[in-house]
Amino acid sequence: MRRERIAIALLAAVLFTACREVPAGARGVLFQRLGGGTEDRAYGEGLHIVPPWNYMVLYDIRRQDREEAMEILTSNGLAVRMDFSVRYFPIPEELPTLHQTVGRNYYDVIIRPSVRSTVRRVVGRYTPEQIYSSKRDEIQAAIFEGILEAVEGKNIRIEAALIRNVILPKKLQSAIEEKLQEEQRSERMRFTLDRERQEADRKRIEAQGIADFQKIVSEGISDELLRWKGIEATEDLASSENSKIVVIGSGKHGLPLILGGGN
C-alpha cells in the first residue's frame, strides 16, 4: 500500500513537472533534446504535457511598443534629438523559424538596428525645419517603409513607426517658430487681399451689367413708341367705368391732358 502511494506521488510529481502552461497572448516553441530539435509548430494557449527532458520557450505574440531616443545629424550637419516608437509583434505561425534563427531577443537583434539605421538614413536627407514642421508626415512614412523593407522575411510584423517628438536647439526652434508665424500672417494677408480683389471684380461686373442694360433699354425705346404707349394708356383709362375724364387741349406730343377721374 505504501509503495502504491509512493508510486502515485512520483507520478503526480512527474505530471506536475511535465505540465507547461502557455498563458493568454503567448505561444510556445518546443525543443526536443533527445531528437528532432525545435518542433516546426507553435503551441497555443493552455496546458501542454512536455517531457522533463524537453523544454518549451514562450513568446509574447501581442502587439508591443518600444521607444527609441536618438541623436541624428540633419542634411546641414545640425544635430536634432528624436523620440521614435515602433509597434510590432512576431508572426505566430513563424515562431519556430524565428526561434531557430534569432531567439527571444529578436527586438535587439533585428528591430532596433533596423529602426535606428533607417531613421538616420531618412532624417539625414532633411533640414531641421522640414523635420520640425513641413515634412514630418513625409519623413515618418519614409521611415516606416524603410523599416518594413529591413525586416521583410524575418518572421516579424511591423504595424507602425511613429515620430513622438523632435527636439531642436532652443535658438533654432525659436527661429523656426517665428518663421512659421510670419508665414501664417502672410498667408492670412494674401487671403484678405484675394477676397477684396474678388469683391471689387464682382462690383465692377455688376456695374457693367447695369450700364449695358440701360444702354440696351435706351436704344430700344423711341419717341413714337412712347406716344403709342401713352395713347393706349389713355384709351384704357377712358373706357373705365369708374373714371371721369376732363380733357383740356392736349399735352406734350399731342396726347390728351387728363385732369381728374373717379367717382
145-183 confidence digits (pLDDT tens): 999 999 999 999 999 999 998 887 665 555 555 665 555
CB environment 17-54: b (16+ within 10 A), e (fewer): eeebebeeebbbbbbeeeeeeebeebbeeeeeebeeeb
Residue 194 belongs to a domain: no
Whether 97 and 161 share a structural domain: yes
Give me the mean pLDDT over the 33-60 stretch. 86
Q: What span, in angstroms and rounded, lies between the C-alpha atoms of 6 and 73?
A: 70
For the chain, what percent of residues have pLDDT higher than 70?
A: 64
Give the residue, 50 or 118, on which the prediction is more confident: 118
Please give the residue range of the domain that contains residue 79: 64-173
Residue 215 backbone phi and psi in degrees, to 5: -65, -45
Q: What span, in angstroms and rounded, lies between the C-alpha atoms of 161 and 198?
A: 45
Whether 156 and 236 share a structural domain: no
Whether 130 and 156 share a structural domain: yes
* pLDDT for residue 172: 59
Give me the mean pLDDT over the 108-129 stretch. 92
* Mean confidence (pLDDT) of the chain: 78
Most confident of 112-116, 181-185, 251-255: 112-116
Whether 83 and 30 share a structural domain: no
pTM score, two decimals?
0.60
Which residues is 160 bridged to in the sheet?
87
Last residue of a domain, one of 157, 173, 189: 173
Last residue of a domain, one of 60, 79, 102: 60
The HSE-up count of residue 108 (CA atoms within 13 Å, CB side) is 3
Residue 39 belongs to a domain: yes
Residue 125 belongs to a domain: yes
| pLDDT of 83 over the 80 cut | yes
Whether 32 and 99 share a structural domain: no
Whether 54 and 102 share a structural domain: no
Closest Cα partner for 83 from 143, 149, 170?
Answer: 143
Q: What span, in angstroms and rounded, lies between the C-alpha atoms of 19 and 27?
A: 15
205: buried, middle or exposed (CB in 10 Å: 19+, 13-18, 0-12)? exposed
Whether 37 and 7 share a structural domain: yes
Question: What's the number of domains the chain is made of?
Answer: 3
Give the residue, 71 or 193, on which the prediction is more confident: 71
Residue 245 belongs to a domain: yes
